[in-house]
Amino acid sequence: MKKFENLGTLNINTRLYKTRLSSKYANRQPYKSADPGMVMSFIPGTVLDIVVEPGQIVRKGELLMILDAMKMKNQIKCKMDGIVKNVLVKKGDKISKGIVLIEME
């Protein structure tokens, strides 16, 4: 029968089941641990201002840039002491959620 064709395999508690796999399962993102050196956008918006430049030494909690989103001017702050390695966006850029804005080292 057609519904029993194209079955995948799903491992639940070390047992392998023959079954159809959902599109949600196929599209899921594997887990990656957060890297404090990667400053990410937590909300989609527009880059209003960038107050640091590559090579600059910054302290934890210092302002890096302002992201205009949902009618608010959101301050993006540094999560670690370090040096700005790369600024990957520029003033006026429209960005989506979860992209890297600044690389730190």
Partner 1 sequence: MAVNKKIEELHERRQKLLLGGGEQAIEKQKALGKSTARERIMSLLDKDSFSEYDMFVEHDARDFDMDKKTLASDGVVIGTGTIYGAPVALFAQDFTVAGGSLGLMHSRKITKIMDHALKMRIPLIGINDSGGARIQEGVNSLAGYGEIFFRNTLSSGVIPQISVILGPCAGGAVYSPALTDFVFVVDNISKMFITGPEVIKTVLGEEISMEELGGARIHSEISGNAHFFAESEDECFEQIKRLITFIPWSNDRKARPFDPGEPQAEYNIEKIVPDDPTLPYDVRDIIRAVVDNSDFFEIMEHYARNMVIGFGRINGQTTGFVANQPLEMAGVLDVDSSDKAARFIRYCDAFNIPIITFVDLPGYMPGADQEYAGVIRHGAKVLYAYSEATVPKITVILRKAYGGGYIAMGSRHLRADFVFAWPTAEIAVMGPEGAANIIFRKEIMLSDNPDETRQRKVEEYKEKFANPYVAASRGYIDAVIEPGETRKFLIHSITVSKNKLIQMPEKKHGVPPF
Whether 48 contacts 72, CB under 8 Å: no
For residue 73, give both structure tokens: 């001017």
* Closest CB 75 distance from partner 1, rounded Å: 19
Residue with token string 């995948």: 8
Give 28 or 90: the residue with its C-beta nearer to partner 1: 28
Q: Which is nearer to partner 1, 59 or 96 (CB)?
A: 96
If the CB atoms of residues 84 and 95 are measured against partner 1, the closer one turns out to be: 95
Q: How far is the CB of 96 from partner 1 (least distance, A)?
A: 6
Binding positions for partner 1, rule: CB under 8 A: 3-4, 7, 10, 12-25, 28-29, 31, 44-45, 69-70, 94, 96
Question: Residue 104 is inside which H or E element, if any?
Answer: strand 100-104
Burial 27-54 (b: 16+ CB within 10 A, else e): eeeeeeeeeeeebebeeebebeebebee
How near is the Cβ of 63 to partner 1 at its closest, in Å? 23
